[in-house]
Amino acid sequence: MSGELVGYARVSSLSQDYALQVEKLELYGCTKIFYEKQQANAKRPEFKKALDYLKEGDTLVVYKIDRLARSTRDLHNIVHSLKEKGVGVVFIKEQIDFSTPAGKLMFTMLGAIAEFERDLINERTTEGRERAKKQGKHIGRIGQSEKQVQQALKLFAEREVNELSVNDIVKLTGVPRSTIYAKSKQISKKDAD
């Protein structure tokens, strides 16, 4: 006996509509559909619910690959973990079913492509670092001036009055939020001592 066809529909913003995805998932035969309005890199609570719901023998059906994964590597990781759980994956638009021989071949190719992409990125990064070192350039994040940090801390301390969010302060000063929080914590600790 085959398992349940479980759909997953996702749009990236609240203004977008997933009616087309839902229509295609229903036509495919999905009896349960999880709906998500989240960016691909954001936490996806409905996707997590779908993963918890899926059981061995079920198939996760998604309208398009980009609705499920943000990169080849991400796709490979998701499909691999579902495969280990005994769950199939189907992408309607691309006509890929990872439970078929052709789908298994595609999965293997995607894994090889993901590995190739990682190797290329690592190789380019290493070459870039070596070239920068030879040219005597600074490697890593460029630090902020003390003046920028002080300005950011002043705005952070007065944020209730100036009604600026931490993101606003980061944009105005160029000082990362981690630096703002760390320096602010140091100042608070010194004041407490």
- Kindly list the catalytic residues: 12
Residue 175 DSSP class: -
Three-state DSSP state, 85: coil
Alpha-carbon span 161 to 18, nearest angstrom: 41
What dihedral do alpha carbons 135, 140, 145, 148 form, nearest 10°?
A: 140
Give the integer Cα–Cα distance in Å for 114 and 33. Answer: 29
- From the DSSP assignment, how many helices (H) and strands (E) are in the chain? 8, 5
